[in-house]
Amino acid sequence: MEINILRKIYPAFIYRDYDYKITKGNLEISFLFEIPPDIQFRPKLTVGGGRSSVNLDNLIFHIGLVEMLSYWKTTCSPEIVIEAGYLNKEQIKWWRKLILNGMGQFFYENRIDWRNRNFLKIKAGQDLNCQRKHAVAGFSLQDRYLVPFAGGRDSIVTLENLKKRRKEIALFTVNPINKIQRAVKVSGIKKQIIVKRVIDKKLLELNKKGYLNGHTPFTGVLSFISVLCAVLFNYKNIAFSNEKSANEGNVRYLGRIINHQWAKSSEFEKMFKDYCKKYLAKDINYFSFTRKYGEPEISKMLTKYPKYFPVFSSCNVGSKIGKRWCGKCPKCLFVYLTLCPYLKKAQLLKIFGEGLLEKRSLRPILKSLIGQGKHKPFECVGTYAEAKKALKLCSKNLKIKK
């Protein structure tokens, strides 16, 4: 549908409410979003276990704020009305920045111009009772580590390094499919905090009808959920695995660099860390363990842990079709490319099932990875410089004709 028509039909998006309860030891959360006059969403989260004696209102309210982006994007309504909780002016400014930066790829793909000052207004509850309910609570947390884990290179490197330092660790997983659980088993970590995230089916129905769709800052969603889990299970440290290459964008659009990985960037990490200490849980230590490393360095570090070779996977397409690697996407090719200098050909074939650099069908993707395409693929891949360097090393090892 045409965005201007949608914005006229649906001038306001409302975060109406949230609710939570403890059922059979599980924390069950639901959110209520409305787009008058006729659209309503009720997404849900379930967290297995945790302490029930802490005040969760503010943390859960904030998860709703970041979850709402997946639903707001259907109509891109010019006004967001927050009725579920309290936000001051500084917070509203923070959330507007998150939306305008984190939704950059969505704007690019739908050819949306966000630059007008009236493009998005955010209104939030200001009454004193609401403010007291969502005041920042103090939490006494143990010096333990919560590691967001999806069975990819980055989180494996983070996990194994923390294990060497004899840290007490729990893995944080969201909707973990079988291939993730296989990697969890190989890790040897017994404590796993599992979150079940259920998207409202109405969202998928609207997408089929032609309402707007596109990328949302998923790492931002994980960040807010991870803070809730850290507080629930008494972990002071949250160790994400976002590398320095996430700072490089993909394409310039309307005078701004659009970055698929913006929510993994140093900019977002600092923004979130500051916001967390001021408005969520001041004792939480949120950071990225792999921030100082580039993609080739992370691939090289992974090769120290061959026990993961049969189970690790970084392919998002493969997750949707029940495969470890689809063998067709930029992510598969880039991971292959960065591992190539450090592994034998037989090892690569055993991991990926085929020689990806020899596939002529992947040549256009390879060109886009090294800066010879229209733009860098909208995937979690490294910088142009990293891809070029890896290709040069691979060419020597495999005698590839470029």
Name the band, by pLDDT with cuts 50, 70 and 90, for residue 402: very low
Domain locations in the chain? 3-138+194-288, 313-398
Q: How far is CA 373 from the centre of its chain?
A: 25
What integer is the mean pLDDT of 273-281?
95
Q: Could you tell me how many residues make up the chain?
A: 402
Whether the pLDDT of residue 319 is over 90: the answer is no
pLDDT at site 136: 62
| 364: preceding bond cis by omega (within 30 degrees) | no
- A 10 A CB-CB count for 18 gives 21
What integer is the mean pLDDT of 84-92?
94
pLDDT at site 242: 97
Whether the pLDDT of residue 398 is over 80: the answer is no
pLDDT at site 80: 98
Whether the pLDDT of residue 139 is over 90: the answer is no
Going from the C-alpha of 12 to that of each of 15, 73, 104, 200, the distances in angstroms are 10, 12, 20, 19
pLDDT in tens, 25-62: 899 999 999 999 999 999 999 998 776 667 899 999 99
- Residue percentage of the chain with pLDDT more than 90: 88
What integer is the mean pLDDT of 74-79?
98
What residues contact 62, with CB distance under 8 A and at least 6 apart? 85, 224, 227, 279, 280
pLDDT in tens, 168-193: 999 999 999 999 999 999 999 999 99
pTM (predicted TM-score): 0.94
pLDDT in tens, 227-262: 999 999 999 999 999 999 999 999 999 999 999 999
Name the band, by pLDDT with cuts 50, 70 and 90, for residue 130: low
Q: Mean pLDDT across the chain, nearest whole number?
A: 93
pLDDT in tens, 189-233: 999 999 999 999 999 999 999 999 999 999 999 999 999 999 999
pLDDT in tens, 339-381: 999 999 999 999 999 999 999 999 999 999 999 999 999 999 9
What residues contact 363, with CB distance under 8 A and at least 6 apart? none
What is the helix, strand, coil percentage profile of the chain, to 5?
Answer: 45, 20, 35
What integer is the mean pLDDT of 253-274?
97
The whole-angstrom separation of Cα 101 and Cα 270 is 14
pLDDT at site 401: 43
pLDDT at site 137: 62
Q: Which of 61, 74, 69 is nearest to 135 (CA)?
A: 61
